[in-house]
Structure 1
Amino acid sequence: MENETKIVGRCPLCGGKVVKTCKGYRCENNTGEAPKCGLFINGVIGNRKMADHEIAELLSQRRIMLDGFASKEWKSFPTVLVLNADGSVSMESRVAVCPRCGGEIRVGTKAFNCSNYRQEDAKCEFVIWRNICGHLLTEKEVHEICENGITTEEIELYGDDGHIYRKRLGLSPDKLKVIKV
């Protein structure tokens, strides 16, 4: 048991095994005098401890939207982690293009908002709430709504009385809000 390693996924750069270490997650080929691979992902990103399943999703999907990051002042924020082609990880708040004005849709604590919401000359009030009828929207669903006007799959939603129903989410005709279709 003392020489056991925890494998969390495959390296998207070289195909090697990614193992958990004391400082984070490293490709098995990123060791020794002349490492063949440069993949290393810190175990703490943005003052947030990463879970093994989150790293596994980042390795396989190259992107993952997560809550609970904190600035140096300990202000909490959500973001999308992106695994870059060189093996580095970056934070990106942009998740889609605004269907109303072409601005950037960014992930926020309670909603996905257009980056032009504070622009005095071209204010855009487009918003997608993160929680719609008990369903937390994914980055993929927000992207589908903004790019295609509707989600590809029906989503499980909850009524006020607790009954479960399935609908797709789409843009209203005036592109001001998200409606159930």
Structure 2
Amino acid sequence: MNIIADCPVCGKGKMVEKTNGYSCNYFKSMDDKCKFFIYKSYFEKQITEEIAKELCLNKETNLFTDLKKKNGDLFSAKLIISEDVIKPDFPSNELTNACPGCGGKVVETANGFVCENFFAKECSLYIGKKIANKEISVNVAEQLLDNRKTDFLDDFESNAGNVFSAKLILDDELVVKFDTTICPCPKCSTGTIYANAKAYGCSNFKDESIKCDFVIWKEMSGKHISIDNVIQLCESKSTDVLKGFKKKGGETYDAKVILNEEYKGVIQ
């Protein structure tokens, strides 16, 4: 029997080497026993006797830079004893908001924002740092964790190369998805307004039975029309006075955008 260290969890037993790991041998009865176990491999990293001893003595290892995800990508972390099990401890920033699924800590890694329980297969939360070719900042990740949705974000890019705007949402399975709907269409009433690269249009544009042609351009007379402006325009048929419209000569002026009787956006 190869004893490598005292058990760091119960303090009563000894850690004994087994075929697939190191196990505490403390056992008095089924109700009085220690289940602590260190496997001989975590994230494809072989746990030698020396590493297991270090883990038992310090309750953490040195930083490993050769741990592997399921897809083969490398990542860096220490292995620590937390809540009587072995978990990765990332050398990265911990986000303010906890995981909305399991309540665990969410940390920033090289490729994304991940629940501390993800690599132990106890949680599925993973937010990539790049989604549809758009960089996802810490602030956006925090908003997604806090509200399960973000504000509208610009400059996503589809596989076909089309640029679009959308909210990010976290569904019940903690999967990140897009929500491109802005508000109901004021013209046809059955469609929803969404944003593409150059304009805000109705989802019924492609419906041959309706063919709604409602559109508001993202730029009017040199002025960017925001999503908040579009929502106000669709709900009230007029925006507040907006600053920064430009005349052909370059002079700036203030004006409203209104919907006329044909539901066209015009500057007034």
User: TM-score surpassing 0.5?
Assistant: yes
Aligned to 1:90: 177
Q: Name the counterpart of 2:134.
A: 48
| Residue matched to 1:180 | 267
Tell me which stretches of 4 or more aligned residues in structure 1 moved more than 6 Å: 14-17
Question: What displacement does 1:144 show?
Answer: 2.0
Q: Which moved more, 1:13-22 or 1:37-46?
A: 13-22
Q: Contact 1:59–1:83 (CA<8 Å) still a contact in 2? A: no
Asked if the contact 1:132/1:157 (under 8 Å) is kept, the reply is: no
Q: How many equivalent pairs are there?
A: 174
**Which runs of 5 or more structure 2 residues have no equivalent in the other structure?**
1-62, 64-89
Report the counterpart of residue 202 of structure 2 in structure 1. 114
Q: Work out which structure has the larger RCO, using CA pairs closer than 8 Å and 6 or more positions apart in sequence.
A: 1
Q: CA RMSD in A?
A: 3.3
Q: 1:169 aligns with which of 257, 263, 267?
A: 257
Instruction: Give the percent of matched residue pairs that are identical in Structure 1 and Structure 2.
Output: 26
Distance of aligned partners of 1:8 and 1:129 in 2 relative to their CA distance in 1, 3 Å threshold = farther
Deviation at 1:52, TM superposition (A): 3.6
* 1:126 pairs with 2:214: yes
Distance 1:89 1:81, change over 3 A: farther
The one-letter amino acid paired with 2:134 is R
8 Å Cα contact 2:244-2:252 kept in structure 1: yes
CA distance in 1, matches of 2:257, 2:144: 26
Q: In 1, are the aligned partners of 2:171 and 2:177 still within 8 Å (CA)?
A: no
The aligned residue for residue 143 of structure 1 is: 231
Cα drift, residue 142 of structure 1: 1.7
Quickly say closer, same or farther: Cα 1:121–1:76, change in 2 above 3 A: closer
Q: Identify if the C-alpha distance between structure 1 residues 175 and 92 changes in structure 2 by more than 3 Å, giving closer, same or farther.
A: farther
| Contact 1:82–1:91, Cα closer than 8 Å, also in 2 | yes
Query: Structure 1 residues 78 and 5 mapped into 2: Cα distance closer, same or farther (>3 Å)?
Result: same
Deviation of 1:171 after TM superposition, in Å, equals: 1.7
1:157 aligns with 2:157: no
Amino acid at match of 2:164: P
Please give the secondary structure, in 1, of the residue aligned with 2:168: strand
Q: Secondary structure at the match of 2:233?
A: helix
1:117 alignment partner, SS class:
helix
Alpha-carbon shift at residue 175 of structure 1 (Å)? 4.3
Q: Deviations over 1:3-30 (max 9, x none)?
A: 8644565358388875421221135x65
* Conserved 8 A contact 2:131-2:156: no
Pick closer, same or farther for the CA change 1:170–1:26 going to 2, 3 Å: farther
